[in-house]
Chains A and B, each alone.
Chain A
Amino acid sequence: MEITKKMVEKTATKLSAEEILGGKVLSVKWEPKLKYAWDNGPAIGRYLAELKNGKIIAKKCDKCHRIMIPPRMFCELCWVPTGEWVYVKDTGIVNTWIVGYVDWKAKRLDIKGGVRPITPGIIEIDGASKGMGILHHLGEVDPWKIHRSMKVKAVWKPPEERTGSITDIKYFKPTK
């Protein structure tokens, strides 16, 4: 049997945004008010505490010898508990990146009006094992001059503004 236009056309009714917003069809609104308080455990707990101190800490697997960031209590590949804590540098290289013209809600930024595009990337952190990257933003750089393997360094918030969060690093900027 073939699935034809005639068959599918009666399965769904197209609505435009105007018909919904203009009240032509009735709708129900519900904003879920859900709150969570996540237990982070020892590994991420220490990671955050060290960020507050202006340092980045990793954890080492004694089996595969990977130095892993973000730190974790067990190595997901060897499946054994991890060993020592290792401070890594706050410098690294750009593994890959983008130039974002929309925000996280898919709302368009006013680029023509002078708003800088959002430039997140994966930063491979120096001192961690090869390929160990974290997600962060790139700053103090022309978005169109960012390139693969560009050397970058963390720009920290002043100590009194740090809260023990990944945002204690404002962004990574190119090193000369």
Chain B
Amino acid sequence: MSKRVAIVGIGTTGFRATTPDVSYRELTYEAAMKAYLDAGVEPKDIDSFVATSEDFFEGYSIADEYSPDQLGAVLRPIYTISGDFIHSLASAYMMILSGIGPISVAQGMSKASNMLTLSEMVTFAMDPIYNRPLKESPHAVSGMEMARFMYETGTTREQCAKVVVKNKRNALNNPYAGHGVLIDTDYVLNSEVISYPLTQMDISPHSDGAVVVVLAEEETAKALCDKPIWIRGIGWCSDTPGLETRNWAEAIYAQMAAEMAYKMAGIRYPRKEIDFAEINDEFSYKELQHLEAMRICKKGEAGPLTEIGGTEITGEFPVNPSGGCLGVGNLYELNGGHKVFEVVRQLRGEAGKNQLKNVTTGLAQSWRGIPTTTGTVVILSN
């Protein structure tokens, strides 16, 4: 790739369990205003826009209709990705490399509090012929996966619970996070069993919010800001959508997306060459499973590393210093947006009480949730 591309502006509303005071329009408008201010651009300076939405999450058929107004993109090049925010980021990145123009914007939004039938929604994503008629709870899928992952790696429920404790504590010091709380592992282990071994506290609560990110090609990025955060590698991958044919222990999608991003970034030893990660922890075990899939930990090593505090803010390889999905909230298609936002804050040195010392390279990873096997990874450096 001849051109380098950087993140030059980020904006968010923050993430809260409910946002009754604003509509989806004002939610994105606020995040966009902040991102544009951060980047020092106006809508007219922006060459292209990518929105992120999934019809049934928004409660609209053809939800992309409502994308242009709140981004200042009326009668401008804009389209929607029905995927994770990092898919949209990749799409915007490719537009810049293709010469569409030096500045592009990616947007994502969650109004999860407006969805009253989340479980029904997830079931609606299952194969209509093979799986839906069985009427399994969506958490049956995560419970089965958790069990298989624990069985193959020797990971314990205590180690998974430790992820919850760590992330919810990290969230207490993150002003953008909505679900911070101080608890211990017993509290997690003794919480209501949803789908054994999965308990209520192993599952991320949902949040509302919006994130907008401004990308720029090298020359423009340097002219716009002092601290461009460079996209060094980006990857995305979909494994099988079938429940019957997937690997239940390993997150192949995360492995393949990460390898694509590592290759692009020239990274051979991720544990050494990357300083920290914001990764998908929609369910506690997912943080551990993703760490192992992305070669940050060996198989079976993520649990013990967590147990000894290796993934704490003060640890050897901090994971989810922001509080992750467990502490910030599950944002659905915006999950990747929150991860990117937090990695940029860390690399700029703007993460406040959760600031890590001497970090130069961070990894943001996301997953599209049950029942998908689609994952995204982006590697950023200051």
Which residues does A use to contact B, with CB under 8 Å? 28, 30, 32-44, 72-74, 76-77, 79
Cβ-defined contact, A41 with B22, below 8 A: yes
Minimum distance in angstroms from A80 CB to a CB of chain B: 10
How many angstroms from the CA of A35 to the CA of B115 in the assembled complex?
6
Cβ-defined contact, B124 with A32, below 8 A: yes
Cβ-defined contact, B29 with A34, below 8 A: no
Interface 1/0 per residue, B52-94 and A, CB below 8 Å: 0000100100000000111010100000000000000000000
B190 contacts A by Cβ under 8 Å: no
Residues of A within 8 A of B270 (CB): none
Cβ-defined contact, A34 with B114, below 8 A: no
B357 contacts A by Cβ under 8 Å: no
Interface locus among B128-136, B228-236, B318-326: B128-136
Q: Which residue of B lies closest to A32 (CB)?
A: B124
Residues of B within 8 A of A36 (CB): 59, 114-116
How many angstroms from the CA of A41 to the CA of B59 in the assembled complex?
16
B20 contacts A by Cβ under 8 Å: yes
Highest count of chain A CB atoms <10 Å: which of B23, B56, B115, B132 = B23
Query: Which one of A73, A76, A77 lies within 8 Å of B26 (CB-CB)?
Result: A73
Cβ-defined contact, B25 with A41, below 8 A: yes
Minimum distance in angstroms from A171 CB to a CB of chain B: 25
How many angstroms from the CA of A41 to the CA of B27 in the assembled complex?
9
B19 contacts A by Cβ under 8 Å: yes
How many angstroms from the CA of A35 to the CA of B117 in the assembled complex?
6
Residues of A within 8 A of B56 (CB): 32, 34
B121 contacts A by Cβ under 8 Å: yes
Minimum distance in angstroms from B66 CB to a CB of chain A: 11
Minimum distance in angstroms from B292 CB to a CB of chain A: 35
How many angstroms from the CA of A32 to the CA of B124 in the assembled complex?
7
How many angstroms from the CA of A39 to the CA of B210 in the assembled complex?
15
Cβ-defined contact, A28 with B72, below 8 A: no
Residues of A within 8 A of B132 (CB): 28, 30
Given contacts A74-B70, A79-B43, A79-B72, whether A34 and B124 have CB atoms under 8 Å apart is: yes
Residues of B within 8 A of A35 (CB): 116-117
How many angstroms from the CA of A35 to the CA of B124 in the assembled complex?
13
Given contacts A28-B128, A32-B124, A79-B43, whether A39 and B69 have CB atoms under 8 Å apart is: no
Query: Which one of B114, B117, B128 lies within 8 Å of A33 (CB-CB)?
Result: B117
Q: Which residue of A lies closest to B25 (CB)?
A: A41
Contact residues of B between 319 and 372, Cβ < 8 Å to A: none
Residues of A within 8 A of B115 (CB): 34, 36
How many angstroms from the CA of A34 to the CA of B60 in the assembled complex?
11
Residues of B within 8 A of A74 (CB): 25-26, 29, 70
